[in-house]
Amino acid sequence: MRFGWQSNFTCVLIAAGTLAVGSMGFSQMNPSAPGEAGASQTFKLIPSLDKALMDTTADPCVDFYRYACGNWSKLHPIPNDSPDSDQFYNLEQYNRQVLHGILESAAAAGSGRDANTQKIGDYYASCMDEAAIEKKDMAALQPELERINALTGKDQLGELLAHYQLINVNAFLGYGSQQDFKDATQEIAGVSQGGLGLPEKDYYLRAGEKDEQIRKQYVQHITKMLKLLGGSDAQAASDAQAIMKLETALAKVSLDVTSQRDPHNIYHLMANNGLQALTPVLNWEHFYSATGSPQFKEINVAEPEFFKGLNQVIAETNLAIIKAYLRWQLVQSLPGTALPKALDEEKFDFDGRTLAGIPQQEPRWKRCVASTDGALGEALGKTYVEQQFPAASKEKSLQAIHEIEAAMGRDIEGLDWMSPETKRLAEEKLHLIANKIGYPNTWRDYSKLTIERGDALGNSLRAAEFESHRQLAKIGKPVDRDEWGMSPPTVNAYYSASMNDINFPAGVLQSPFFDPSATAALNYGHIGLFMGHEITHGFDDQGRQFDGHGNLHDWWTKEDAEKFNEKAECIVNEYSQFSVGDTKLNGKLTLGENTADNGGMRLAYMALLAYATEQGMDLNKKIGGEYTPMQELFLGFAQDWCAEWRPELERLVATTDPHSPSRFRANGVLVNMPEFGKAFGCKAGQPMVAAKACRVW
């Protein structure tokens, strides 16, 4: 069940999903041999400026990323259980160590545990109990497989797909609650395209040797998984080919990831009978009833053409193939930690090794920590916050974000391309942004969620259903603007266009990204950039279409909108020239994140200028070190993105993700800042000095 999160136009600081295993952090691991697994590494917080990471033999005016991060790969080789090694990965691993200690204690505690401690402890212990999972083998899956076997006609699909939505199996579609784009005070029902097992529609359709190879490996993977579920060699091979054909048909009618960036393309509010007319093969009233949704009269059909095409795909596919597809969608959606070892390892072989190039799976404790955080994030997060996030950190973080917002106000006021009327509305939106720092004001109530020690799969399914029912219960109700979309230990941040709020979990507010003992310049380069990044999302190509109250509303004059698009096109063209291997970046797909990176750095710079004026600081004078405050600002920013990625991951990100690979997030921004060139004495014509600098904000 994914619809609500996607439709809120939530813009995260780093990649979600695929990159959750390693993409935003600031901690230091004790160096180990490149072949050593993550289980034996100890991660420590690293300083705001780590001079050991720098390659000072590099010319900062030729390649500043190499100058700031050139020694990263030597000191932080990619662990065998990760697709990458970067600052975000390191901090995430540091946090996992903290959470690991909390969960081990919770699992070992006796009968005196409170309710939340029991739940997180028993969930984690059940996940770690491989012997119990192996003993149950396929018996744990059997009730779900029987649901599929019991289908005797397509008219029964609605109820089965409803059950699938509750347990996070998005076969054919996704369904849930979302804020109404046109009335952000209300929650409505929404339905969106789904059902693909590969990362994005172009993986099914794109020509080229690499994509053809992945499609072949995908079919082989499906075959192996179906055999592990009990199918014969011949039947599994035949079903895998048919499933690939079915998913390819779905891909052809799916909206591509770039088009989904425009909110108008995924907002089509219609009466319930309108969706029924698009897909008469499904009984939607039975579907809604089976999910336990509140009654409603209208639903947002994100991609009407998909549902029209979905109807044809289901109508033209025989029931036996649909049942094989449902078995495949079920098993590939369930967490590997809750499945027998053979299924778990085969899932990783394709998802990890083939798509992301990861040689070996993470140690089980890491995956069980992540799984517990996903299922019981605020129960676990409450204990994490008590240990790791003092009140002083929250106060200083709020002060920092207010400084960056003040810089945005000055930036808007000083724009020479925006009319006074649009400026007024932009400033109004800025002042309405809500700042959420650290953790929610009210912790989530998990009292209705049952966690049973020794039942890993059951716990996972019950946790999924608990969250799905919580989300569905929102339909028809006012929006809860205090709700968080990330757990407190998360090493990430996000801006929500419908909420018009910025969210910084406690997990990311640590060194090097935020260190109260570091210089002001370094903190502006780190957390100031991140805060500016999220604020700018409110005014990027997506966010600018929503007003200060979170409504999809055109508040721009026609002339101002044209000028914005002209400036944004410069960013599109710049990043479209970058490539990883033989794959060029998609400048349109990454426009929002690139705009936010550029705007965020501009705001951090402006905030530092204001601070220096207030403090009487000379930004170009070296004080107690080798670098001026201005140089520290840019070094802190660049070291945010120190990384080494496996080639498979870079290709995956370049083709599917709205975030650019790390090195382009550093150099791509700095070439657009003449202030950077001045700070490091760069001259016109050098690579880090753009002939035509791009700037939106």
Buried b (16+ CB within 10 A) or exposed e, 73-89: beebbbbbbbbbbbbbb
Characterize the bridge pairing of strands 183-193 and 173-180. Answer: antiparallel
Choose, from 362, 597, 644, 648, the residue flagged as catalytic: 597
Give the integer Cα–Cα distance in Å for 333 and 602: 41
Cα torsion angle, 457, 463, 467, 472, sign: positive
| Whole-prediction pTM | 0.93
User: Where does CATH 1.10.1380.10 sit in the chain?
Assistant: 142-333
User: Which overall architecture, per CATH, does domain 3-96+376-440+449-679 show?
Assistant: 3-Layer(aba) Sandwich (3.40)
C-beta of residue 598 within 8 angstroms of C-beta of residue 665: no
Low-confidence ranges of the chain (pLDDT < 50): 2-7, 17-39
Characterize the bridge pairing of strands 501-505 and 494-496. Answer: antiparallel
Supply 289's token pair. 């009833």
pLDDT for the residue numbered 582: 87
The torsion defined by the Cα of 630, 535, 48 and 46, in degrees rounded to 10, comes to -160
3-state secondary structure of 547: coil
pLDDT for the residue numbered 35: 36
Supply 101's token pair. 């200690």
Give the integer Cα–Cα distance in Å for 378 and 375: 9
Give the integer Cα–Cα distance in Å for 624 and 627: 8
C-beta of residue 2 within 8 angstroms of C-beta of residue 472: no
pLDDT for the residue numbered 1: 52
C-beta of residue 327 within 8 angstroms of C-beta of residue 357: no
CATH class label, 142-333? mainly alpha
Give the integer Cα–Cα distance in Å for 678 and 674: 6
560 is catalytic: no
Buried b (16+ CB within 10 A) or exposed e, 571-592: bbebbbebebeebebbbbbbbb
User: Where does CATH 3.40.390.10 sit in the chain?
Assistant: 3-96+376-440+449-679
pLDDT for the residue numbered 32: 33
C-beta of residue 28 within 8 angstroms of C-beta of residue 45: yes
pLDDT for the residue numbered 420: 98
Choose, from 534, 560, 593, 648, the residue flagged as catalytic: 534
239 is catalytic: no
Give the integer Cα–Cα distance in Å for 535 and 405: 7
C-beta of residue 281 within 8 angstroms of C-beta of residue 311: yes
CA 205-206-210 angle, to 5 degrees, is 125
The torsion defined by the Cα of 78, 82, 84 and 86, in degrees rounded to 10, comes to -80
Sequence-ordered list of residues with C-beta below 8 angstroms from that of 367, at least 6 positions apart, any chain: 127, 336, 337, 361
